[in-house]
Structure 1
């Protein structure tokens, strides 16, 4: 298991925060805003449906929490 902190948008344009990559099962684990549980996707489907984005320090994080002070 490999811990990560990267942001992607799904094919609907909704941002998700990738928190883990599980090479043994080829799964990407991520969080969606407002959803209390971890989500996962097989790597091939994740690569097809998600695009990495840059998130600045003023962007909102998962669960509506801002990175601002």
Structure 2
């Protein structure tokens, strides 16, 4: 079992407004998803429960 605090990812999701976000990390300890928006230079994050409600994976 890994003791990593964060898991690095490289997956794309669509938010409820149709914008594509790139998920870069999953913070296990704080139960949040960290992602980047194309037009914003800083990472954003939301609680996992909200992410599951409002984002869907782009295949």
TM-score (norm 2): 0.89
Larger radius of gyration: 1
Structure 1: 5+ residue stretches without partners? 55-69
CA distance in 2, matches of 1:23, 1:36: 23
Task: Say which structure, 1 or 2, has more relative contact order (CA 8 Å, 6+ apart).
Answer: 2
CA distance in 2, matches of 1:22, 1:42: 9
Q: Out of 30, 47, 51, which is 2:56 matched to?
A: 51
Structure 2: 5+ residue stretches without partners? 1-5
Runs of 4+ with deviation above 4 angstroms: none
TM-score (norm 1): 0.77
The RMSD of aligned alpha carbons is 0.4
